[in-house]
Chains A and B, each alone.
Chain A
Amino acid sequence: MNVLKLISWELDRVKKSYLILVGILLLLQFGWLGAFLWRQNATYEEMRLEGMTGYTVSFINYIGSTIFTLSVGVAIVAMIFFSVWIWYRDFQGRGMFMMRLLTIPTGRMELFVAKFVTVMMLILGLFAIQWMALFLQYQLFSAWLNAKMIPLQGSFERAIQFDYLAMMYPESGFNFLVHQVLIAFVVLALFTFVLVERGLWQRTLWSPFLAICVVSGLIALPTFLIIYFDRYLFMDEQIGLFGLALIGMVFGLTLLSRRFLSKKMSV
């Protein structure tokens, strides 16, 4: 129950900046869609005057555009930044909110879980908003083109298999779960980095560097193993090894976080 309350407080504090982020992303995308369609209209008219036929527009042209990619990039960077900021935010200023959080009479791991779930929910939130936005954009896109009688090529389903977007539109629920697990792994790694750094920052000036070494060391070892055995294993065995390595790393990272959060954290 405590975790749920902690989550609601975390969300409450991040609400404003999250809405701003979403606002920016939507503005960027819908604004660009307008401009894109307007330009298509202009070029189509031109082509028609010159009598050239066979000009078609595909939704992929829109998705592949730099601005759209930029918006997705911004979202990703924002989330990576936030996975770290959700902790550092509580260390800001002399009045460290972390002091308050650490004196709450429940296990500190509840705090870890709460922040973890908050980040994952925010990421899923962005996914959700992007799904809805893209779907909406396609409706606008096709409606506008039909209205202007510009030939439209390819379906929405086809368009979303466009390289990196396939990550957002996995073919099956299982793939979706795998993607989320991988995202969660990245968030966990970032969390561990922060906690190790915060556990060492009063002990040595090199704490960020040391934290990076510790976390990347913990990740590098299994990765090296996977690469080394790549020569000897087949796809099914490699997946097995990868799964094992992932579980091992998750276990290692969580243990490390727990140790630093409960024993080494220094405010």
Chain B
Amino acid sequence: MKRIVNVVALGVIITVGLATYAVSGTEKETDWSLQVESNKKVWENRIVQVAKDSMDQPYTHINVTLNGSTPSNKGSYFKQLLDFQANFGEDSRSFKRALKQLDYAQRIWTTDGEMAIGQKDRDTLVLLKSKDGKEVDVTEFKQAREILESGWKGFYVYDGKVHLLYDQNYETTNHHVATFDESTKTFVTQKIDRSKTLIGGVVGAEWSWYPSAYQGQVATDNRYIPIRATALETLQEDTGEEYTSEMDLPGLFVYDAKENKVVTVNQSEELKGTLFKDQEYRAIRSDGTELIIDLNSLEQTTRQVIQGAVGSITYIDQLVYHVLPKKEGAMLEVYDEGEMVSRASIKAEGDSGQTSNQPVHYYVY
């Protein structure tokens, strides 16, 4: 049985190899920790991503959560599976499954349930409505080729009906709106007279894959619908050749569903973050104040939210998440309706020296 020595020899090579891999292979990434001083609940399924875009290294980011940090979204497939299931939103799985089968779908979250609109085939447009995420009523609109072959700018509910803004055969200045009548399964389209300010897209209603946490729950009877506005600008290539491109306009804009025209609310300011919620259109300005616009009367009210320096703002689950980078890590705050509800901080443990020379960005998901 002296041949058994071959098995032993190969076995030894494999074990030594595995040891080398174990020692050298794994990532010695610096660990980051998220310390929450108050109200842990708002951080439960939040991820603070520390992104180090360093020149030579492939782009890496570290996801920091309440229970530790993992390098980018890697980690074992099993953990990735658990993460996926954790923030999938299990209860609206059937709505999401119906949504998944539509192409170029868009989705909004209204006070009476989730809605989505998408393309089923070359000729059919489908409207999905679901109050609880489980039962899904599907309405199909035939002969919708005209709408399907055009750029969708987002949809909204007004006067009990679903409306879709779209650019006829992708001409950015050729805005149209389609109004769908579910009972008769028909729709009417109407041209919107052209204005210099163009419709970029309905806030929070442009894509279906957009994490739903970023969508506010909107009312179904707002007259004014918050939109992203754009304008055409002619630019010159260095070769002297001219081309036009659509540029985002700073400021707040709404679409008058009654008169079918774009209304500019205020144009000047640099805004930190916006949210279309219920019957309000909210924005945080660089001075830390929150501007609230009533979407029926267009009345504006403001309130001071963030004292002192303002970092970056993200509206998540209709709360304001404020991140202010510091020398070491970053300070995090959460506001609900203008009141601070939680304070936390994130910093690197151990040798943070490695991170000092690289520019670091913080994003809250």
- Are the CB atoms of B28 and A4 closer together than 8 Å? no
Which A92-138 residues sit within 8 Å CB-CB of chain B?
A: 121-122, 124-125, 127-132, 134-135, 138
Partner of A56, one of B17, B24, B56, B60: B56
How many Å lie between the Cα of A9 and that of B358 in the bound state? 56
Given contacts A174-B77, A232-B100, A236-B88, contact A135 B20 (CB under 8 A): yes
| B183 interface contact, C-beta 8 A | no
Docked-complex contact A132 and B20, CB < 8 angstroms: yes
> In the bound complex, do residue A175 and residue B77 qualify as a contact, i.e. CB atoms below 8 Å apart?
yes
A58 within 8 A of B: yes
Contacts of A158 in B (CB 8 A): 57-58, 60
B84 at the interface (CB under 8 A from A): yes
Interface residues of A in 153-192 (CB under 8 A from B): 153-158, 160-162, 169, 171-175, 178
Please give, as numbers and ranges, the residues of chain B lying within 8 Å of A135 by CB-CB distance: 20, 23-24
Give bound CA distance, A178 to B77, whole Å. Answer: 9
Q: How far is the CB of A114 from chain B (nearest CB, A)?
A: 11
Say yes or no for B26: interface residue by CB 8 A criterion.
yes
Given contacts A56-B56, A169-B25, contact A128 B14 (CB under 8 A): yes
CB distance from B3 to the nearest CB of A (A): 4
- Confirm or deny: A239 has a beta carbon within 8 angstroms of a beta carbon on chain B: yes
Q: How far is the CA of A178 from the CA of B56 in the complex (A)?
A: 30
In whole Å, how far is A41's beta carbon from the nearest beta carbon of chain B?
20
Which 4 A/B pairs are nearest by Cβ-Cβ distance?
A128-B17, A172-B76, A11-B6, A8-B3
Contact of A154 among B57, B77, B101 (CB under 8 A): B57
A203 within 8 Å of B (CB atoms): no
Given contacts A128-B21, A158-B57, A232-B100, 11 further A-B contacts (CB under 8 A): A11-B6, A11-B10, A12-B3, A58-B56, A121-B14, A160-B25, A169-B25, A172-B76, A175-B77, A234-B88, A234-B96
Find residues 200-233 in chain A having any chain B CB closer than 8 Å to their own CB. 231-233
With an 8 A cutoff between CB atoms, is A7 at the interface?
Answer: yes
Contacts of B56 in A (CB 8 A): 56, 58, 153-154
Which residue in B20, B58, B79, B84 is a CB contact (below 8 Å) of A161? B58
Tell me the number of A-to-B contacts counted with CB atoms below 8 Å. 118
Q: Is the CB of A234 within 8 A of B100?
A: yes
Q: Is the CB of A236 within 8 A of B75?
A: no
Roughly how many angstroms separate A181 CA and B200 CA in the complex, as a whole number?
48
Q: A5 an interface residue at 8 Å Cβ cutoff?
A: yes
Report B's interface with A, CB cutoff 8 A.
Answer: 1, 3-7, 10-11, 13-18, 20-21, 23-29, 56-58, 60, 71, 74-79, 81, 84-85, 88, 93, 96-97, 100-101
* A174→B76 contact, CB < 8 A: yes
Residues of B within 8 A of A236 (CB): 81, 84-85, 88
Cβ–Cβ < 8 Å partners of A124 in chain B? 14, 17
Q: Which residues of B contact A162 (CB under 8 A)?
A: 58
For chain A, give the interface size range: 35 or more
Does more than half of chain B's interface fall in helix, strand or loop, or is it mixed? helix
- Determine the distance from Cα of A160 to Cα of B10 in the docked complex, in whole angstroms: 24
A121 partner residues in chain B, CB cutoff 8 A:
7, 10-11, 14
Identity of the chain A residue whose Cβ is nearest the Cβ of B9 in the assembled complex? A11
Across the interface, do B10 and A131 meet the contact criterion of CB distance under 8 Å? no
Q: How far is the CA of A157 from the CA of B28 in the complex (A)?
A: 7
Q: How far, in angstroms, from A131 to B13 measured CA to CA in the complex?
A: 11
Nearest opposing residue in chain B for A166, CB measure = B74
Does any Cβ of B come within 8 Å of A235's Cβ?
yes
Give the CA-CA distance A212 to B92 in the complex, in Å: 44
* Contact residue among A122, A178, A234, A239 (Cβ-Cβ distance under 8 Å from B10): A122
Known: A154-B56, A175-B76, A236-B81. Is A169-B6 also a contact (CB below 8 A)? no
Q: How far is the CB of A97 from chain B (nearest CB, A)?
A: 15
- Residue among A157, A172, A235 making CB contact with B75, cutoff 8 Å: A172
Cross-chain contact B1 with A8 (CB below 8 angstroms): yes
A263 to B162, CA, bound (A): 66
Determine how close the nearest CB of chain B comes to the CB of A79; give it in whole angstroms.
Answer: 14
Cβ of A48 under 8 Å from chain B: no
- Contact yes or no, B3 A157, CB < 8 A: no
Q: Contacts A8-B4, A153-B56, A157-B27 known; A127 to B81 CB distance under 8 Å? A: no
